[in-house]
Chains A and B, each alone.
Chain A
Amino acid sequence: MTSNQAFALALRTLSRNRLRTFFMMLGLTVGIGSLTALSSVGESTKQETMRRFKRMVGTFDTVIVRPGAGRTRGMPSLTTVEPSLKFDDAQAMATEVPSVRRVAEVQNAFDIDVKYRDKTASPSVFGVSSNWTDLRDDEVAQGSEITDADIQGLARVAVIGADVKANLFGDEDPIGKTFRIADVPFQIQGVLASRGAGPGGGSLDNLVLIPVTTASKRLFNRDFLTMVIAQLKDPEQGDRAVEEITALLRERHHIVPPAQDDFTITNPRAAMARVTEVGSTLSKVLTGVAAMATVIGGVVIMSLMLIAVSERRTEIGVRRSVGASRTDIMIQFLLEAVTVSALGGIAGIAIGAGGTTVATMIQQLPPAIVWSAIGSAVLLSLAIGLVFGLQPAWKASNVDPIKALRS
C-alpha cells in the first residue's frame, strides 16, 4: 500500500464514522486549544510587559544606582532616601569605572505643586543632567532639551511631560511660557514626547525636567542625588559594571565588611529577565490542566480505537485475507490515530489562536501568535496520536484472520 493510499484510507474511515471521529478529536482539541491560547496570551502579556518596562527604563545599556541599602519599592524621592549618594560619587563613576561610558545625575521628588495661571498639577520633578534624554531614550517633541549651558548657569528652565502640558496648558503653546514649580518661576523650553504607560499601568508622562544644578541649589536645596544612571560601554557588561561601581562606592563611602552597602544598584536587563521569566502560578496551573486535558484526549483516542478494533475484526480479517500483512494493518490503525489526533490538534490550534486574537484585541494587547507554540502543538498532537495509537494498532495487527473471518 502506498502512503497516499494509506492516508486516503485513514481519511475515508474517519469520515465514515463522523461521530466517533468527533469524540476522538474532542479531548485533544480542548487540550491543544487551551495550550495554544495560554502560551499565546502568556507571550502577548510578556511582550507587553517588556514594552512597558523598556518604556520606563528607556535603554537597556545602563545600570541604575540609588542611595540606601534596602530595596525600597517605587522610585526614590528626596524625602525617602538617605543623603549618601553625592555629585562627586557620580563624577567618580564616570571617570574611574572602566566599564562606564558616562553618567546622568538625577535629583527628583514626587508630587511637587506646579502652577500656571489658575491651573495646578502635581508632577514629579526631575533635576537631570543634559544627557538625560539620551540615556533615557526620551524624545523632545517640541522646543529644546536641557543643555550643558543650562546646567552650568543654574538656569531656571524646564522641559515638561505630555501630561503636564495637557493639564496646565491644554491647547496653548507652552514654549517660552513661565510657570511656577513650588513657587519658583521656570521658563518652559521643551515638551517631551509621550512614553505612555509604565509596567504598573501608571503614566510616564507626568513629570517636569529641570537642570540638576538648579534643582539642587535653587529648588530643593539638597546636595545629594536620588539616582545615578550609568551608561555602559558594552551593554553585555552589566554584571561587571555592578561589581566595579560597588567597589568604588564602598571605598568612597568607607564601608568595610561586614557593613552593608549604603546604595542599591539595579541592572535593568537582569531585572527584566526576572520579571518576564517568572510566569504566574495561575498560568502554570492552567498549563498543567491543559496538558492533562491533552493527555486525556490521547487516552480517549486509545479507548475508542481499541473498541473500533473489536468492531472491525471482520475488516481486519478481510484485509489480511486479500494480502495485508500484520505490518500493513498496524500502519493502517496507527495512521488513523495519528490523522485523528492531527486533525484534533489543528482544530485546537485554530480555536486557541482565534480565541487569543479576539482576547488580545479586546484587552488591547499586542497580537501574539507564537509560531513556536503552534509548531510544538502540532508535534505534540502527532506524538499523542503515535503513542496512544500504538496499543490499538498492535491489537489490530494481532487479530487472528481465521477467527475474524469465521465469526
Chain B
Amino acid sequence: MIEMSHVSKTYERRDGTPVAALRDVSFSIGAGEFVTVRGPSGSGKSSLLNILGCLDTPSEGTYLLAGEDVSRYSDKERSSVRCRRIGFVFQSFNLLPRTTALENVEIPMVYSGDRVDRAKASAILRRVGLAERAGHFATELSGGEQQRVAIARALMNDPPLLLADEPTGNLDSVAGASIMQLLSDLHQEGRTIVLVTHDEQVASHASRELLLRDGMLVSDRQQALIHATP
C-alpha cells in the first residue's frame, strides 16, 4: 500500500537556512496494517504525515501509494489521490461551522465527481453512531461527537487509507477511548490506518510502531494488539 524509499524533506527558514524535517526515511506499510508513528515534537511526525497524505511532496526520495509514484504528482493529481485514496482525521476535528453534521460528512463527495449521495452520508453517520445528530450544527456537538463526524467525513469516499493526526489529543479519556475503539473497528474492517501520536496508550492499539527522532526512523517494531476487539 505504502512504499517510502529514502524520503527526505528540507524546509527553508525565513532567514534562508535549511531545516531537515525528514532524513532518508524508508519503510513500507502493507494493506490492512494499523501503524502508529511516534516521536517527540519536532521529530518529523507531521512532515511524514503530510507527505503520506499527499498534502506535501518529498524533497528527495520516492513515495509509492498503491503502486503510483505520487511524489512527483502535480497539485491537481495529488488532489485527486487525496479524494479517492486518503481520509484525514485531525486533532482539532476541523468541522465547518454553520454546517450540519450531515453536510460536513458530504463535503468530500462533491470533489469525487459523483452525485451527492445523501443516503450514503446518513449511513456512514449511523456507522459512527451519530444517526440522530445528523441535523445538528458542528458547534452543538461534544468533542467526541465532532471527532466521530470527522471520521465519518474521512470515510465518505471509501478511501483504503486513513491518516489520523493525534485524533484523541483534544478529547477526555473516555471520549478518546471510544474514538480509538472506532478506529480499531475500522481497521478490523480492512482499512489501512496510520496514526500519529505521542501517547503510548494510544499507540498500543496498533500492531506496529514507527519511532522517529530528529527526522530519522530510529525504530520499526511489531507489537501485540492489546486492545484489539475479539
Report how many A-B pairs have Cβ atoms within 8 Å: 73
Contacts A315-B96, A402-B50, A405-B94 given; does A322 touch B107 at CB 8 Å: yes
Does B75 interact with chain A (Cβ within 8 Å)?
Answer: yes
A320 touches B55 (CB 8 A): yes
Min C-beta distance of A308 to chain B, whole Å: 12
Does A328 sit within 8 A of B, measured CB to CB?
yes
Q: Are B157 and A325 in contact, with the CB atoms below 8 A?
A: no
Taken together as a complex, chains A and B put the C-alpha atoms of A320 and B83 apart, in Å, by 9
CB distance from A312 to the nearest CB of B (A): 9
Task: Write the chain A residue with the least CB distance to B79.
Answer: A325
Would you call B111 and A318 a contact (CB within 8 A)? no
Chain B 147-158 interface 0/1 with A at a Cβ cutoff of 8 Å (1 = within): 000000110110
Report B94-153 residues with CB < 8 Å from chain A CB: 94-96, 98-99, 107-108, 110-113, 116, 153
A321-B82 in contact given A1-B110, A405-B94 (Cβ < 8 Å): yes
Residue contact A322 to B108, C-beta cutoff 8 Å: yes
Contact B76–A323 (Cβ < 8 Å):
no
Contact B96 A322 (CB under 8 A): no
Q: Which single residue of chain B is at the shortest CB-CB distance from A6?
A: B110
- How many B residues touch A, CB cutoff 8 Å? 32
| Nearest chain A residue, comparing its CB with the CB of B85 | A323
The answer to whether A326 has its CB under 8 Å from any CB of chain B is yes
Whether the Cβ atoms of A328 and B111 lie closer than 8 Å is yes
Chain A residue at smallest Cβ distance from B108: A322
Q: Is A120 an interface residue (CB 8 A)?
A: no
Residues of B within 8 A of A (CB): 46, 50, 53, 55-56, 75-76, 79-80, 82-84, 87-88, 90, 92, 94-96, 98-99, 107-108, 110-113, 116, 153-154, 156-157
**Could you list some 21 contacts between A and B, CB below 8 A?**
A16-B99, A17-B98, A314-B94, A318-B94, A319-B107, A319-B111, A320-B82, A321-B53, A322-B83, A322-B88, A322-B108, A322-B111, A324-B83, A325-B79, A326-B79, A327-B76, A328-B111, A401-B55, A402-B46, A402-B50, A402-B55
